[in-house]
Amino acid sequence: MFATARTRDEADGLSKRARAEGLDLRVTTLDVSDPPACEAAFEDIAHLTAGGPDAVVNAEGFAVAQAVEDVTEETAHRLMEINTFAAMRLARLVLPAMRRRGRGRIVNLSSAAGRSVLPLGGWYGASRAASAALTHALRMELAGSGVQVVLIEHGFHATGLLEDAVRSLTPPSNISTHVTDCYRDAAAALSDPTRFAGPDRAAATVHRALTARRPRARYTVAMDARLAAPLIASLPYAISDPVKRLVLGLAEYP
């Protein structure tokens, strides 16, 4: 098995944990937003596996929790690059070999934020909605090829994505002091480790998606993704919008 990590420290930590679990795992650092680096990494994997991987899990993600007008062009591009473009880039790299073999599996991790957008989550939700749409299209295009495509949508859980979101809430808003106060309150809520489950359930769902003989097209992880997000998305905006604004503390913002 092969795995990638953003930094050398993360790669070393993952390798150490794999050894402790008795797993044969090769870990390398990879910036999924760097096309040449992705090509080189998958060329190495193809060489070591005599053709390329049987399955790919696209689990890289990046989160920002700011008002739409506070998010810079650079940050918006980074969100779309990591959460949307990278998964399709890796799919393009592995699909030719999978088609030739007549089998393969691509599992893309996304978020319920793409279906039920919250205030301060516009750009993050946009990146996840785009990822879900592209995964859906890819699944239809590959029907009959032997390559199966699966989307996993998670809710809130304690991972590096929450840490990304909290960091993004640290600078004051350029809009108003009231929005800055909302950032502070949101950061406090996201920083509470007792409010969110760990990544174990999401990892178990990935395992199910990889090993099931006939995987579902879409899996949802956690109650907020399975029940709350679809319910809220089905409500009229006249009802859901004020509720979301109230929850985020924006109800008094003109």
What tokens were used for 153?
């949508």
User: From CA 196, how far away is CA 156, in angstroms rounded?
Assistant: 6
Active-site residue, from 124, 183, 237, 253? 124
Domain spans of the chain, in order of start:
53-247
User: From CA 175, how far away is CA 67, in angstroms rounded?
Assistant: 9
pLDDT at position 216 is 96
User: In whole angstroms, what separates CA 209 from the centre of its chain?
Assistant: 15
Which ranges of 115-236 would DSSP assign to H, the alpha helix? Answer: 122-141, 160-168, 177-190, 200-211, 223, 229-234
pLDDT at position 246 is 85
pLDDT at position 28 is 87
pLDDT at position 34 is 94
pLDDT at position 252 is 64
Task: Say if residues 119 and 249 touch (Cβ distance below 8 Å).
Answer: no
Q: Which CATH architecture has domain 53-247?
A: 3-Layer(aba) Sandwich (3.40)
pLDDT tens readout for residues 40-67 = 999 999 999 888 999 999 999 999 999 9
Nearest Cα to 246, choosing from 113, 118, 114, 126?
A: 118
What residues contact 229, with CB distance under 8 A and at least 6 apart?
Answer: 112, 113, 115, 116, 153, 155, 220
Sign of CA dihedral 170, 171, 173, 177: positive
Q: What are phi and psi of 110, to 5 degrees?
A: -130, -150
pLDDT at position 146 is 96
Nearest Cα to 221, choosing from 135, 159, 167?
A: 159
What angle, 0 to 180 degrees and rounded to 10, lies between the N-to-C axes of helices 73-80 and 122-141?
Answer: 30
Rounded alpha-carbon distances, angstroms, from residue 144 to 30, 104, 141, 148, 185: 32, 12, 9, 9, 49
Indicate if 219 belongs to the active site: no
Sign of CA dihedral 79, 91, 58, 21: negative
Task: Say if residues 198 and 158 touch (Cβ distance below 8 Å).
Answer: yes
Which residue numbers in the chain have pLDDT < 70? 251-254
pLDDT at position 250 is 80
